[in-house]
C-alpha cells in the first residue's frame, strides 16, 4: 500500500512569514505525507521550523555538480546539510525556461540521489505533444533519459510527479481519466524496467490541483498524491487538499 503525499511547490513565491504561518497552521494529515518545496532562500528556515515534525522539506532545484564556479546555484549536498530530505528535478518550468534538457535532468537526478536526498522527478507532455498523440512518448523519453544515466535503475527511493504542461498554472487540471491513464502507463513503464518496484513507487499528479478537484483525482488507482503549485500558497486551501487525500 502506497502512502499518499501532498507536496507544495511554492515556486518563486513565499517569505519567512509564509514559512512561519505554515508551521503554525498546517494540519498534518494522519494518513499522508506532506512535503514542502520553498525557494532555496527559505529552505533552511522552513526546515528548522519543521525539524521536530515529520513534514518533509526540499529544494525546487539543484545544480548537477557538488561545488565549483557555478554562480547562483546550490548543490544537492548543501540541501542535505540543511536537513532537508528531498529535491524536485525536471520541473517543466525549468525544462522550458532554464535549459534543463533531459541530459541535465539526468545528471541532477544522480547528484540528488548520491547526496541521499529523495528525487521527485517531474515529467509531462506539452499541449502540442498531447494533441499529436505523442503524450506518452514524451513522458517515456523523460523517464528513459534518467534511467539510462543510472548504473542500476532504482525506483524505490524516488517519487515521480506527472505534470502535463498544459495543466500547470492554467486552472485547467487534467481530468481524472486523463491523469489516471497516464499514471498507469508510467507504472507499467516502471514495471517493465524494474523487478517488482512499480507497486512501491509513488506517482503524484500535478497541474491546477485545488481543494475542489482533489477528491476526484485522488480516488484514481494510480494517483498517489499531488504536487500543488498555486493552491499551496494558501494554507487553508492546502489543508483542504491534505484532508481530501487523507480521507
Ligand atoms: P499549479 O502548479 O498547481 O499552479 O498548476 C503545479 C506545479 O507546477 O508543480
How far apart are alpha carbons 108 and 77 in whole angstroms? 12
* 8-state DSSP, 123: E
> What distance in angstroms lies between residue 165's CA and the mean position of ligand 1's atoms?
9
Instruction: Return the best residue to mutate from 92, 94, 227 for the ligand 1 pocket (most ligand atoms within 8 A of CB).
Output: 227
Q: Minimal CA–CA distance to 187: which of 131, 143, 218?
A: 143
Q: Choose the weakest-confidence range: 54-68, 69-83, 141-155.
A: 141-155
225 torsion bin: left (phi>0), alpha (psi -120 to 50), beta (else): left
Q: How many Cα atoms occupy the beta-carbon half-sphere of 217 within 13 Å? A: 33
How far apart are alpha carbons 81 and 122 in whole angstroms? 23
Q: Are 183 and 203 in contact (CB under 8 A)?
A: yes
225-247 per-position pLDDT tens digit: 999 999 999 999 999 999 999 98
pLDDT of residue 155: 82
Q: Minimal CA–CA distance to 36: which of 246, 227, 234, 237?
A: 227
Tally of helices (H runs) and strands (E runs) in the chain? 10, 8
Q: In a 3-state reduction of DSSP, which class is residue 116?
A: coil
Instruction: Return the best residue to mutate from 230, 231, 232, 234 for the ligand 1 pocket (most ligand atoms within 8 A of CB).
Output: 230
pLDDT of residue 194: 86
Average pLDDT of span 6-31 = 97
**Which residue's CA is minimally distant from atom 1 of ligand 1?**
229
> What distance in angstroms lies between residue 237's CA and the mean position of ligand 1's atoms?
14
Q: Does the structure show a pLDDT above 80 at 150? A: no
177-220 per-position pLDDT tens digit: 999 999 999 999 999 988 888 999 999 999 999 999 999 999 99
104-130 per-position pLDDT tens digit: 999 999 999 999 999 999 999 999 999
Average pLDDT of span 94-102 = 97
Q: Does the structure show a pLDDT above 80 at 154? A: no
> What distance in angstroms lies between residue 9's CA and the mean position of ligand 1's atoms?
7
Q: Which residues are paired to 37 by β-bridges?
A: 9
**Which residue's CA is minimally distant from atom 2 of ligand 1?**
229
**Is 152 part of the annotated catalytic residue set?**
no
Pairing of strands 225-228, 5-9: parallel
Q: In a 3-state reduction of DSSP, which class is residue 159?
A: strand
137: its cell numbers:
512518448
pLDDT of residue 12: 98
> Which of 93, 129, 147, 163 is labelled catalytic?
163
pLDDT of residue 153: 65
pLDDT of residue 151: 67
192: its cell numbers:
517493465
- Residue 72 burial by CB count (10 A; 0-12/13-18/19+): exposed, middle or buried? exposed
Percent of the chain whose pLDDT exceeds 70: 99
Mean pLDDT of the chain: 96
49-74 per-position pLDDT tens digit: 999 999 999 999 999 999 999 999 99
How far apart are alpha carbons 16 and 42 in whole angstroms? 7
- Residue 97 burial by CB count (10 A; 0-12/13-18/19+): exposed, middle or buried? exposed
**Is 163 part of the annotated catalytic residue set?**
yes
Q: Does the structure show a pLDDT above 80 at 77? A: yes
Sequence length of the chain is 247
pLDDT of residue 152: 66
- Report angle CA 106, 112, 118 to the nearest 5 degrees: 110
Amino acid at each position: 500500500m502506497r502512502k499518499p503525499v501532498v507536496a507544495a511547490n511554492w515556486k518563486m513565491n513565499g517569505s519567512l512569514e509564509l514559512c512561519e504561518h505554515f508551521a503554525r497552521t498546517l494540519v498534518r494529515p494522519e494518513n499522508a505525507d506532506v512535503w514542502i518545496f520553498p525557494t532555496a532562500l527559505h529552505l533552511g528556515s522552513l526546515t528548522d521550523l519543521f525539524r521536530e515534525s515529520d513534514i518533509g522539506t526540499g529544494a525546487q532545484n539543484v545544480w548537477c555538480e557538488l561545488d565549483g564556479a557555478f554562480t547562483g546555484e546550490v548543490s544537492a549536498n548543501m540541501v542535505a546539510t540543511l536537513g532537508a530530505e528531498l529535491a524536485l528535478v525536471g520541473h517543466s518550468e525549468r525544462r522550458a525556461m532554464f535549459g534543463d534538457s533531459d541530459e541535465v535532468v539526468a545528471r541532477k537526478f544522480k547528484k540528488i540521489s548520491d547526496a541521499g536526498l529523495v528525487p521527485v522527478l517531474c515529467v509531462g507532455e506539452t499541449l502540442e505533444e498531447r494533441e499529436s498523440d505523442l503524450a506518452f512518448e514524451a513522458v517515456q523519453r523523460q523517464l528513459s533519459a534518467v534511467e539510462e544515466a543510472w548504473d542500476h535503475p532504482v525506483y524505490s527511493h524516488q517519487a515521480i510527479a506527472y505534470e502535463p504542461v498544459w495543466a500547470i498554472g492554467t486552472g485547467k487540471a487534467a481530468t481524472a481519466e486523463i491523469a489516471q491513464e497516464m499514471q498507469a502507463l508510467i507504472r507499467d513503464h516502471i514495471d517493465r524496467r524494474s523487478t517488482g518496484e512499480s507497486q512501491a513507487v509513488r506517482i503524484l499528479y500535478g497541474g491546477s490541483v485545488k481543494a475542489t478537484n482533489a477528491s476526484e483525482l485522488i480516488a484514481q488507482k494510480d494517483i498517489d498524491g499531488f504536487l500543488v503549485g498555486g493552491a499551496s500558497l494558501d494554507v487553508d486551501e492546502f489543508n483542504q487538499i491534505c484532508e481530501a487525500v487523507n480521507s
